[in-house]
Structure 1
Amino acid sequence: MRGSDPTGDGLVTITQMSRLQVSFSLPERDLPLLRATLSHPEDKRRVRVVTGPDDQTSAEAELTFIDSSVDASTGTILAKAALKTNDEVWPGQYVRVELTLGKHPEAAAVPLVALQTGHSGSHVFVVRPGDIVEMRQVEPLTTNQDEAIITEGLTPGERVVIEGHARLRHGSLIVESALAPAPQAQGSRTADAGPVRQ
């Protein structure tokens, strides 16, 4: 109520200060990871709310809500997290949210061009000793413009084929060269499967 209003008809704004919530949006492609995180109590707590220009001030939060529909105009989905304490955040303040969408310590990152799709699902061509390729079924977790994250079927450090897939079959012999391939060999380029960057 405004103290200078003699009629007593002034407006009062009531703001909930306890258990503040932070609203944020994520790309639609992250929806499966977001739902998996919400279904595991230990993962729901992996939300960090960062405030201040130096990003040094942060507060912990817990994922509590995922909207039931995707915003078609932006391709994003609304999510909310409840702060554990309100010491560092003020209602209406703009903050940055860091959300850990699960942990996969055995996951491998490969160039996106290495991931192929066939009748039996996703696969990569893994280079075995003797430059023989093995067509390996894999389980991709997510992809972006440059790489695919593989959670099953591939180990960091293994070599995968990134060029020349059309000529390959399970058991093919490859020659890692940009020159013309030798008889009974397939010219291909390879890359190492690396650990997932944190």
Structure 2
Amino acid sequence: MKEVCDCRFVEPLLLWWRKSKRPRDYPWRRETDPYRVLVAEILLQRTRRDKAAEIYEKFVNAFPDPQSLARASEDEVRNIIRPLGLEKRAPYLAKLAREILRRPHVLREGRFEELPGVGPYVASAARVILGIPTRLKPDSSIARVLSRFYDRSLNTRRPADTPWVDECLNRCAPQNPESRKEYFLALVDLAWEICRPRKPRCNLCPLKNLCRQLRQS
């Protein structure tokens, strides 16, 4: 696997992200409360970030902690998250809050996968933001970036489960917690802004001089 995991992309990726991160300074990325970070990551699933940011602010104002969310009715939760098309997640968010209150040690210890509605990617992303040591989990967007960079194929049904993607994502990750967080967020932002599913903006990509797929085209 070593010959596949060319990690030269890390330095230009981080330079690009650090120079222009202010527009992407979403509130949950500065958050230290695990509950709020988990809420943000759940809201971000298949949702535009600018819209999720708007709803996130309303959500944490209405339900600033697990206690207030656990007391809320499903209709109250549903009304706030409706603009994201996530009405069906209202029961899961309420259940999440109740489970946090029942087992607070799970939240404190970063064992987020044990909470209802929290999958491996959300749990890993939350730990990265909070500076908790974790193995990084790719989503389909990160898988797309690495697939193009390495010019390698992905699992067609579940791209994020492609073994070499997980291997290279983690092999190239910095060990310093803050740099690791920046690396992860930079890949997320690159996928959203530059390495898009359709009409990627390759001319603006900080990795264009190293990208194998671009060099092959």
The TM tier, using the shorter chain, reads under 0.3
- The answer to which structure has the higher helix fraction is 2
TM-score of the superposed pair, with normalisation by structure 2: 0.23
Higher RCO structure, 1 or 2 (CA under 8 Å, sep 6+): 2
Name which one, 1 or 2, has greater alpha-carbon Rg: 1
